Amino acid sequence: MSDSFPGADAHVATSTDRRHRMQCADILLSDQPSRRAARRWITSTWTGYPGCVVAAARDQHGRWCLIETRDAGALLVRATGSSIVDQAIVELAARVRYDQWIAAGAAP
What is the band of 1 on the pLDDT scale with cuts at 50, 70, 90? very low
The total of structural domains in the chain comes to 1
Domain limits at 39? 12-102
CA–CA separation, 75 and 1 (whole Å): 22
Does residue 96 fall inside a structural domain? yes
Residue 63 inside a domain? The answer is yes
Q: Report how far apart, in Å, the C-alpha atoms of 9 and of each of 1, 15, 48, 95 are.
A: 6, 20, 22, 9
pLDDT tens profile 13-63: 888 888 888 888 999 999 999 999 999 999 999 999 988 999 999 999 999
- pTM flag (> 0.95): no
List pLDDT tens digits, range 86-104: 889 899 999 999 988 888 8
Task: Indicate the SS3 state at residue 101.
Answer: helix
